[in-house]
Amino acid sequence: MKELDPQNDPLYLLTKAVEQGDPKVAKKVKDRLDKSDNPSEMRYLEGLLILLGEKPGELEEPPDVENDPDEYWPENDYFEV
């Protein structure tokens, strides 16, 4: 397996920029996200956006809502006689 050089790894560099509070990093993350077709990388980049306080993209699901009618139905509805 090829070892990555952290100083040349784009995800590492973006993560460091987020940690250091680079004001331009959100745009860089979004640009990288737009160009990516790797689901794992896309999820990671969306995580960085969330850390920056940005709105999550398509991959990130919103938190579950209790008693959500679209996700809940009584178990016996379909088996009543």
Structure tokens at 63: 């938190």
Q: Where are the domains of the chain?
A: 1-54
Handedness of CA 51, 54, 57, 60 (dihedral sign): positive
Structure tokens at 50: 């969330």
Distance CA 61, CA 14 (A): 23
- Predicted pLDDT of residue 66: 63
pTM above threshold 0.85: no
pLDDT for residue 18 is more than 60: yes
- pLDDT-based confidence at 78, cuts 50/70/90? low
- Predicted pLDDT of residue 17: 94
